[in-house]
Amino acid sequence: MAYEGEPLNYCPANLDLSKVEMIVVSGSTKYGHSLLYIPKNGLYFQIAGIHAYPTMMNELGYRRYLKENGKWELGRIIYALPQPEGAYYELMMSTSKKWVWGGVFNNCTTFVEEVIRAGGSSSRINNFPTNNLQ
């Protein structure tokens, strides 16, 4: 089984979510897949399962993830979050429950969007990851 990251059943302390990035990588469909990246901490977070906890990776883990899954990075979108403590709380809460994948809705991008919105961003985010790169 290809590497998807470490199960996120706790939220690391001292995360700086004042600036985050949505990473869009190639996926099993033309719409790709989204991950949340926290640049100041060098950590990636994602949902990668139908009923699973979020996963977390450092930079080496992210490179491994791309290689083992045959993916490549398509782009990054930067978000400045005026309420980083809200984003942290949302990420922390996501570790307490398994994510139920809903296809187009409640998908990988929804996970990223919920953290970004909780951080005070009003940016419009499309549930089809590659549509956000246009």
- Encode pLDDT of 12-24 as tens digits: 999 999 999 999 9
36: in domain: yes
Scanning the structure block, which residue is given the tokens 């782009």? 75
Q: How far apart are CA 82 and CA 120, in angstroms?
A: 6
Work out how many domains the chain is built from and give that number: 1
91: in domain: yes
Q: Which residue has the higher pLDDT, 11 or 34?
A: 34
Q: Could you list the residue range(s) of the whole structural domain that residue 99 is in?
A: 6-133
pTM: 0.94
Three-class SS state of 87: helix
1: in domain: no
Q: What is the mean pLDDT of residues 98-124?
A: 89
* Nearest one of 17, 22, 52, 43 to 126, comparing CA atoms: 22
125: in domain: yes
Q: Which residue has the higher pLDDT, 49 or 83?
A: 83
Q: How far apart are CA 88 and CA 115, in angstroms?
A: 8
pLDDT for 100 equals: 85
